[in-house]
Structure 1
Amino acid sequence: MSYKVIVDSCGELTPEMKASGIFETASLAIEVGGHHIIDDETFDQKQFLQYVAEAVECPKSSCPSPEKYMEKYDCDADRVYAVTLSAELSGSYNSAVLGMNLYHEEHGEKNIHVFNSCSASIGETLIALKIRECEEQGMTYEQVIETVEAYIESQHTYFVLETLDTLRKNGRLTGIRALVATALNIKPVMGATPEGTIYQIGQGRGMKKALGKMAESVLAEMSDPQNKILAISHCNCPERAEAVKEQLVKHATFKDVIVVDMAGISSMYANDGGIIVVV
């Protein structure tokens, strides 16, 4: 049985994943300062961050169309899995489901399943890797879905950003009480709820203290780290990502550690200097 995993472009694919032939990206698009950017292999983070710095308006994203997803499902693989951004944060999940329904209408039955990551960025990456692990273990299609859905429920997402402006202006922080004044250089430590919405875990004065608080939260809430992959994505700050990694591996032994630079959509929301940790 052959299989394929489609990950919307908020999920970062590692070089190894790109080379495997198993994983494929469904690209979102970004509008900023009059520039239309497709979040694919042509994405230039440095150029994008410059556009954001120069733009008056906040950047906005748009998800792949149902037709785009349908095209990706139309392949030789017997089983197709899609992994999307949290349905609470993007229309990508709904688009992927609509694309599946369109495919079934036009081409008949096929094993296609869409996973709502209830996360973003590197969280999607870990889910895609979990699908591969299940497939390589020879699980049935139903077992893969059941195991991966349980894994999604057990996953924890944390992040600290230099600014929450893009999330706030794009309506992704609804329900969060007013965040503290930036004049005090207070950096909130944020996380994803089990439903995939964003909430505040804590805060620290200055980026270093906030990252320390985030690492404490990761370690406090984590169970069974030796069977889990620690994943960190960063927007243009490898040293910061490395410091967080060192802090975590000093206190826990993980099955593996992945550190990646963010692609377009994650860069848009995290902004320059943002860090996301998923375990």
Structure 2
Amino acid sequence: MSYKIVIDSCGELLDEWKKDPRFESVALTLSVGGENIIDDENFDQASFLKKVADCPECPKSACPSPERYMRAFDCDADHVYAVTLSAELSGSYNSAVLGKSLLQEENPGKQIYVFNSKSASVGQSLIAMKIQECEEAGYSFEKVIETVEAYIADQHTFFVLDNLETLRKNGRLSKVKALVASALKIKPVMGSTDEGAICQLDQARGMNKALVKMAQNIVDKTKDSENKILAISHCNCRERAVLLKNALEERMPVKHIVILDTAGVSSMYANDGGVIVAV
């Protein structure tokens, strides 16, 4: 059976997926100071970060339309899957579900399933990897869905950012109690709730100490780590990501660690210097 995996552009694509027709990224639109930037393969992170730094207004993102999802789903593949960023953080999931309904009105037998990642960034990448693994193992459509939903329920996302302003101003931290003053250089260690909202797990003074605390949180929360793939995405701070990778490998056995650059949406929310981990 053939398959296709559609990921909204908050999810980071592996290099091999960019050349694989079974994978498609559906772009969100970013707006900075009145300019709209499509988060596709032409996204220029350095230019974008400079625009954000130079603009007094907070950047915003808009999710893909249901029609855009419908076009992505309208293909020859027998099984079509979408992986969207958390429904608690974006309208992308609802848009994809509507796109699925629109296509199934025209083609009632089409097998399409939309996964709410309850995560973002590399959390979505790992979910897509799991779908691919299940499909390559010859699972039925129903068995893929059941296995991947169980994987999502067991997944955790963690992040430490130099700057939380974009998340805060866009209302993505509504579930987080008052954050400490940035003047103290306190860096909160953030994570995902079971529903896919953002919560604060810990805090430390300075970025390096926050990364150490994040690593400890990851170790504490990751059961059966030797059988898991862990993914790190970073916004313009590869050295930081590599340090974190080394720290995690010292503290726990992991099957494999992937490091990816943040694409547009993740760069917008993580801001320069942000690090995101999913496992």
TM, length-normalised to structure 2: 0.99
Equivalent in the alignment of 2:68: 68
Contact 1:33 1:54 in 2 (8 A): no
Give the secondary-structure state (helix, strand or coil) at the position aligned to 1:41: coil
Give the secondary-structure state (helix, strand or coil) at the position aligned to 1:204: strand
Equivalent in the alignment of 1:256: 256
* 1:129-140 equivalent positions in 2, closer than 5 A: 129-140=129-140
1:245 aligns with 2:251: no
Question: How far, CA to CA, are the matches of 2:82 and 2:239 in structure 1?
Answer: 32
Question: How far, CA to CA, are the matches of 1:99 and 1:206 in structure 2?
Answer: 44
State the Cα distance separating 1:35 from its structure 2 match. 1.6
Equivalent in the alignment of 2:161: 161
Question: How far, CA to CA, are the matches of 1:128 and 1:118 in structure 2?
Answer: 13
Give the secondary-structure state (helix, strand or coil) at the position aligned to 1:163: coil
Contact 2:232 2:277 in 1 (8 A): yes
Question: How far, CA to CA, are the matches of 1:114 and 1:85 in structure 2?
Answer: 11
Query: Aligned partner of 1:32: which letter?
Result: V
Question: How far, CA to CA, are the matches of 2:108 and 2:145 in structure 1?
Answer: 21
Query: Aligned partner of 2:273: which letter?
Result: G
Equivalent in the alignment of 1:29: 29
Query: Aligned partner of 1:129: which letter?
Result: M
Contact 2:78 2:111 in 1 (8 A): yes
Query: Aligned partner of 2:112: which letter?
Result: I
Query: Aligned partner of 1:56: which letter?
Result: P
Question: How far, CA to CA, are the matches of 1:175 and 1:85 in structure 2?
Answer: 17
Q: Structure 1: which 5+ runs fail to align?
A: none
Question: How far, CA to CA, are the matches of 2:96 and 2:175 in structure 1?
Answer: 26
Equivalent in the alignment of 1:43: 43
State the Cα distance separating 1:227 from its structure 2 match. 1.0
Equivalent in the alignment of 1:177: 177
Query: Aligned partner of 1:99: which letter?
Result: G
State the Cα distance separating 1:56 from its structure 2 match. 1.2
Question: How far, CA to CA, are the matches of 2:107 and 2:114 in structure 1?
Answer: 17
TM, length-normalised to structure 1: 0.99
Residues 94-151 of structure 1 show CA distances to partners (whole Å, capped at 9, x for unaligned) of 0000000000112222100000000000000000000000001111110000000000
Give the secondary-structure state (helix, strand or coil) at the position aligned to 2:19: helix
Q: Structure 2: which 5+ runs fail to align?
A: none
* 1:151-230 equivalent positions in 2, closer than 5 A: 151-230=151-230
Runs of 4+ displaced beyond 3 Å: none
Question: How far, CA to CA, are the matches of 2:130 and 2:21 in structure 1?
Answer: 16
Equivalent in the alignment of 1:235: 235
Give the secondary-structure state (helix, strand or coil) at the position aligned to 1:72: helix
Q: How large is the RMSD of aligned CA atoms in angstroms?
A: 0.7
State the Cα distance separating 1:176 from its structure 2 match. 1.4
Contact 2:173 2:198 in 1 (8 A): yes
